[in-house]
Amino acid sequence: MKNENNISIAPKGLAILAIIGPAFVWCAEYIGSGEVILATRMGSILGITVLWAPVVGILLKYFIGLSGARYTVCTGEGMIDMFSRMPGRGNWAVWIILIGQFLAGAISIGGVASAAGVFANSIIPIKPFIWGWIITIFAIFVVWSGKFNIIKYIMSVLVFIIIVGVLYVAIHTFPGFGEFFKGVIGFNIPEVPQWALSLEGVSPNPWNEILPLIGWAAGGFASQVWYTYWVFGAGYGMAQGRKYGQPCDVNSLKNMTRETAKRVKGWCRVVYVDATVAMIIGIVVTAGFMLSGSGILRPEHLAPQGSSVALELSNVFGKLWGKFGAYLFIIAGCAALISTLIGQFAGWPRLIADSLRICVPKFNKKFQWLTQFRIFIATFFITNIVIIYTFGIEPVSIIKMSAILDGLLFTPFQAVLVLIGLVWVLPKLISTEAWKILKPHWIFIVGLTIAAVVFGYFCIFQMPASI
């Protein structure tokens, strides 16, 4: 049943679980190199006493992604369009994002493709660079149509594979609830052990390992933007019936009735459940990979490093659990990296196309949205695979670099912009009676403020000393 704005009534209760989809794309996209490599590495070097780090990162970014998705449900436009409505002239916020995110995308996808090729090589011994090309072409094939449902179904399968593999690891390496909760709530910062200091790329400063994982736990800046695209693609709330690459219908929002606002609020509750599912899966999977590093690699004085990361993990797991355990872990890691690569090829071209549409209107007039999307798929294919992957950039280093650039530097900036979007932009777009119903709960304001302060602290006080 739909009203005059074509907004159907949102499902309630357990029926919400039947339409969850954006959550699986979101968590499948952000569960990748950060969890497979960085979480396993940090667990092996610092142990599970720093489990609080990814939990804090995921929880705070959950508020950013959820708040952005709520805005999309209420307006029918994505996060980049929200940023174009910031106070000031010249789309200053979007220009910063366009430049910074193009650079981040030009680094990140190549690192994930490289790592995925290394992991796939451990399953079927084809040269890693060939696997990298195969996986990249597969990712492009999945996203080329621009349709959300194809991505949703494939990502859901990959998430299932990841969870099965990680739960197997967690069960065999679980240290007990006491140690586990101490790691979550203890906020300890242990010293880097002497054995680890002899490894390549390991610094005496523990923040050098902690910050990259916080940066890519729940993904970086781009992942929170992409979640609004997945919510848009699923047609929640005011996004129903709308197409990608369009700002909201301002006239419709200005005339939003009380009845429409109530229906939109029902879809807000759907996205709360959806985002929470993604957060829980992210925490469980990240904890699983950290437990594997702490319980399996740490006693062996090993940490994932260099291009041999998957081979090291496979050999150690094989000694303890046999071929089945080793393959299950490597398959889960490979699935996580492939899902991230698909998400990146689906998300970054959308983000750049949206930013360029706003900053350079002539580009939008010349090309239809799908053409713009495909132009940037091809662009990132060239920049990442030819420039970065072909020249053999070492995956662990490039992934840590990407985590700092996209996951830390941009996150406090994003939290502030989303906060302005909820409390300043949204009430100007919708009718007064609709605002009374759709006004965000104070928990969103608090969550976004804490996210801005905490990530700002990391950027200003900890990041300079750890680089």
Q: Where exactly are the structural domains of the chain?
A: 13-466
- Predicted pLDDT at 52: 96
Model pLDDT for residues 52-86, shown as the tens digit of each residue: 999 999 999 999 999 999 999 999 999 999 999 99
Identify the residue whose tokens are 């002539």.
362
- Predicted pLDDT at 65: 97
Identify the residue whose tokens are 């906060």.
419
Q: How far is CA 209 from CA 40, 110, 201, 213, 282, in A?
A: 11, 21, 10, 7, 19
Model pLDDT for residues 85-140, shown as the tens digit of each residue: 999 988 999 999 999 898 888 777 777 887 788 788 878 888 877 888 888 899 99
Residue pair 44/304 in contact by the 8 Å Cβ criterion = yes
Of the ranges 9-23, 261-275, 357-371, which is most confident? 261-275
Is the pLDDT score of 36 beyond 80?
A: no
For 86-102, letters b (16+ CB in 10 Å) and e give beeeebebbeebbebbb
Is the pLDDT score of 389 beyond 70?
A: no
Model pLDDT for residues 214-233, shown as the tens digit of each residue: 988 888 899 999 999 999 99
The residue-averaged pLDDT of 244-261 equals: 94
Which residues share a beta bridge with 2? Answer: 8
Between CA 143 and CA 353 the distance in angstroms is 15
pTM summary value? 0.91
Residue pair 74/430 in contact by the 8 Å Cβ criterion = yes
Identify the residue whose tokens are 């990041």.
463
> Which superfamily is assigned to 13-466 in CATH?
Hydantoin permease (1.10.4160.10)
- Predicted pLDDT at 390: 57
Q: For the chain, give me the number of helices (H) and strands (E)?
A: 23, 0
Q: What is the mean pLDDT of the chain?
A: 86
Joined together, the tokens standing for residue 245 give 């690459």
Is the pLDDT score of 278 beyond 90?
A: yes
Give CA 66 to chain center in angstroms: 12
Give the containing element (helix H, strand E) for 369: helix 369-380
Residue among 65, 98, 71 nearest 414 (CA):
65
- Predicted pLDDT at 275: 96
